[in-house]
Structure 1
């Protein structure tokens, strides 16, 4: 059985196509949850983001949406074995998800491969390629379940992030925060953490983060962001 142990919960991932990754851990740790009461995790996979956010704010009411049945099995198991079994996992496409209430935070580690070569693994393709969830569909889903002060927080590779930002602009979203992420000091920025809202802002708050030092140890800023989650940090 493949699993990943965090300080307060474990993630079984033998069924889900998308495994625990640095992207997911960064996103779950970076998202702004201040003042939030309800959170929606779109494409929850193993449930990692929902669990991280619940650990950070245990008063959060969290709904997690996942289309893949195998991933749903992992997510429900991980949540049931965690200190927070009240996280609700919905097996459906976000395009048909319905809620009687709006969410203060929406978080997603979205599929981003667009018109690229696919692997023979159909489950992994569904998780990684935009065929089943385009950027505009994700943004539309956020708009449907949000109120004026809701936030949408995502992580994407840089080229896809530029496309996502423009798509958001066309649909009336404003980019409030960006964190440019490098894996090591000598590598270029490879990921962007981004926070959007329907509320306008005068400036976008910019920051940067490097995950590892040249000697492959974690940087102080990465440790400061993620120390509450890693078992040995």
Structure 2
């Protein structure tokens, strides 16, 4: 698949190792960014999350960070060809990114494999494995880019989400909202959409099912993503 067309923008993904995924679309549609004046997407890949954030908060300043050079080629082109060419791309590690003003919202679909067998594609390994960006390093980077009321939006598989939640709390980030995602009603949740802040608050837990019994998208998934999918 060479590209993905959304209602307001298109994603070219010729160079990147990691293509548009349901995880990314879920996070981009669900993330709490609408009230943010400054947003940063850590590990932007093709630029999908940054573009979704900009569509939802068009007046916001949006920064995107990506370490992998080929992914940056796609992201740079996708931003330039979108209605929002002012999205700013930083090519490099988030650990070396500096911002004069903290961000109101952070979004990230981070690498999460930490002990699994790697393939031959180095770029794909970078995007999928935590070698270059552990959960602890990611959370520390988020702390450096935030203020006291910054919202951190993350998606992870459920087992890795438990690890992330524990590490985040050690660094002063508290899980405020958890959305457990199933692919179908009969399956167990496979993904965790998570909203963190540096303010401890009672946890709100919700559930989302992607596909109805018919195999079509569920009404709740359609309601969440209808502003983005071209044929929804």
- Give the aligned length: 232
Query: Does the Cα contact within 8 Å between 2:66 and 2:92 map onto a contact in 1?
Result: yes
Partner of 2:192: 192
Q: What is the match of residue 154 of structure 2?
A: 154
How far is the alpha carbon of 1:77 from its aligned partner?
A: 0.2
Structure 1: gaps of 5 or more residues: none
Query: Which residue of the partner structure matches residue 207 of structure 2?
Result: 208
Runs of 4+ residues deviating >6 angstroms: none
Counterpart secondary structure, 1:179: strand
Helix, strand or coil at the partner of 1:64: strand
Q: Which residue of 1 aligns with 2:48?
A: 48
CA-atom RMSD, angstroms?
0.8
Mind listing any 5+ residue stretches in structure 2 that lack a counterpart? none
Q: Measure how far apart 1:200 and its partner are.
A: 1.8
Asked if 1:111 is matched to 2:88, the reply is no
1:221 Cα deviation from its structure 2 partner: 0.2
Cα drift, residue 195 of structure 1: 0.6
- SS at structure 1 position matched to 2:126: helix
CA drift at 1:199: 1.4
Q: How far off its partner does 1:191 sit?
A: 0.1
Partner-residue secondary structure (3-state), 2:188 = coil
Alignment of 1:120-131 (within 5 A): 120-131=120-131
| TM-score relative to the length of structure 1 | 0.98
What SS does structure 2 have at the residue aligned with 1:175? strand
Partner of 2:90: 90
Aligned to 1:70: 70
CA distance in 2, matches of 1:209, 1:159: 17
SS where residue 211 of structure 1 aligns?
A: strand
- Deviation digits for residues 163-187 of structure 1 (CA, Å, limit 9, x no counterpart): 0000011111111111000001111
Instruction: Report the counterpart of residue 163 of structure 2 in structure 1.
Output: 163
* Residue 27 in structure 1 maps to residue 30 in structure 2: no
Match of 1:39 in 2: 39
How far residue 95 of structure 1 moved from its aligned partner, in angstroms, is: 0.7
Question: TM-score, structure 2 length as denominator?
Answer: 0.99
**Deviations 1:68-114 (CA, angstroms, capped at 9, x unpaired):** 01000100000100000000000010011111110000100000001
SS for the counterpart of 1:183 is: strand
